[in-house]
Amino acid sequence: MSEFVSFKIDGKQCMGRAGEFIAEAAERNNIYIPTLCNYKGTAPKAACRVCTVKVNGRMMTSCSTPLQEGMEIENETAEIQDIRSGIIELLFAEGNHLCPSCEKGGSCELQALGYRFRMMVPRFPYLFPVREIDASHPKLIKDHNRCILCKRCVRVMKDENGHSLFAFYKRGTKLEIAIAPELADKITDEVAQQAMDVCPTGALLKKRKGWDVPVGKRMYDMKPIGSEFEQVK
């Protein structure tokens, strides 16, 4: 068992285990740090940067930074909150997100964060990129318009040999998610459902299924994102 350490988030005294990630430790102290690319049980990739906090005055991502004794963490300062909402706005402006027509609406983590940060209009120009909807796979639709390149699918969805069913091609603004060609058969209905659940947005959708939970009754329609930790306060 690893040793216990004490640390502070916005002045509040907290306890956690040395070496666990700050985001996890915060949750167990009933403090919500927004995360997006992070997926419980999988090694972090710190791609979205939404979980940025200041640790002893330096910006760090809380999903990937191990906890140490005596850390002074800033979480809900005006500066950090502005960076976070800036990032969410970036993600909306970078892709094409038309929430009302999106199957994931209401259970989409990006949308939920948009609400949480009370985003009205992004401060950035919309890029309106021309991106594909790839429905060539028999079980799965890949909508690049909604992909935020969080790499969850690449990190989580693996076959029995540990090979990823998804991959990242190219780099920078050309970066895109691809299905590994020779593993495409392994995506059954069940796996497609898993992939859809793993994806925080509506970029991966299981085919021939839709709207079985009506909009208005979905996860974040009922409770805002993050509230599960905060209600305990």
Partner 1 sequence: MDILLDILAENGYISDEDITSLAAGLDMSSADVEQTVSFYHFFARKPMAKYNVYLNSSAIAVLKGREKIATAFERESGCSFGKVSEDGMISLDDCADIGMADQEPAALINGIVFPNLTAFRVKELVRDMRKGLSVDELRSHGLGDGMNNSEYMKATVTNNIRKKGAVIFSEYQGGSALEKVKADRMSQEQLIDLVKQSGLRGRGGAGFPTAMKWDFCRKAKGEKKYIFCNADEGEPGTFKDRVILTERPRLIFDGMALAGYAVGAEEGILYVRYEYMYMKEYLESILTEMRKEKALGKDASGIKGFNFDIRIQYGAGAYVCGEESALIESAEGKRGEPRDRPPFPVEKGYLGMPTAVNNVETLCSVAKLVTNGVEWFKSLGTGQSTGTKLLSISGDVKYPGVYEVEWGFSINDILEMSGGDPAAVQAVQVGGPSGSCVGPNEFERIVSYEDIATGGAMMVIGEDHDLLQDVVLNFTEFFIDESCGSCSTCRALTVMYKKTLEKVLSGDGRRKDIDAMLSWAPIGKASRCGLGQTAMNPICTSIKNFRYLYEGHIKNANEQYEGGFDIAKAVADSCEVVGRRPNL
Rg (CA), the chain: 18
Site residues for partner 1, 180-219, by CB under 8 A, read: 180-183
User: Of the ranges 46-54, 107-115, 132-140, 170-178, which one interacts with ligand FES (CB under 6 A)?
Assistant: 46-54
Supply the minimum distance, in Å, between the C-beta of residue 27 and ligand FES. Answer: 12
Q: Long-range contact list for 111-118, CB < 8 A, 24+ apart?
A: 111/201, 111/220, 112/219, 112/220, 112/224, 112/225, 113/34, 113/36, 113/50, 113/88, 113/225, 114/88, 115/220, 115/224, 115/225, 116/34, 116/224, 116/225, 116/226, 117/81, 117/84, 117/85, 117/88, 118/85
Q: Could you tell me how many residues of this chain bind ligand FES (CB under 6 A)?
A: 12
User: Of the ranges 36-44, 69-77, 125-133, 169-177, which one interacts with ligand FES (CB under 6 A)?
Assistant: 36-44
User: Of the ranges 26-34, 73-81, 127-135, 143-151, which one interacts with ligand SF4 (CB under 6 A)?
Assistant: 143-151
Does the protein bind ligand FES through residue 50 (CB under 6 A)? yes
User: Smallest Cα–Cα separation from 225: which of 119, 78, 96?
Assistant: 119
What does 205 interact with, of partner 1, ligand FES, ligand SF4, none (CB < 5 to 8 A by kind)? none
Per-residue interface string for the shown chain with ligand SF4, residues 172-201, x marking contact by CB under 6 A: -----x--------------------xxxx
What does 59 interact with, of ligand SF4, ligand FES, partner 1, none (CB < 5 to 8 A by kind)? partner 1
Alpha helices in the chain (DSSP H): 22-28, 78-94, 109-116, 152-156, 189-198, 219-222, 227-230
Say whether 158 sits in a helix, a strand or coil: strand
* Residues that bind partner 1 in the complex, under the rule CB under 8 A: 44-49, 52, 59, 61, 64-66, 79, 82-83, 86-87, 90-91, 93-94, 123-125, 127, 148-149, 151, 161, 163-164, 166-175, 178-183
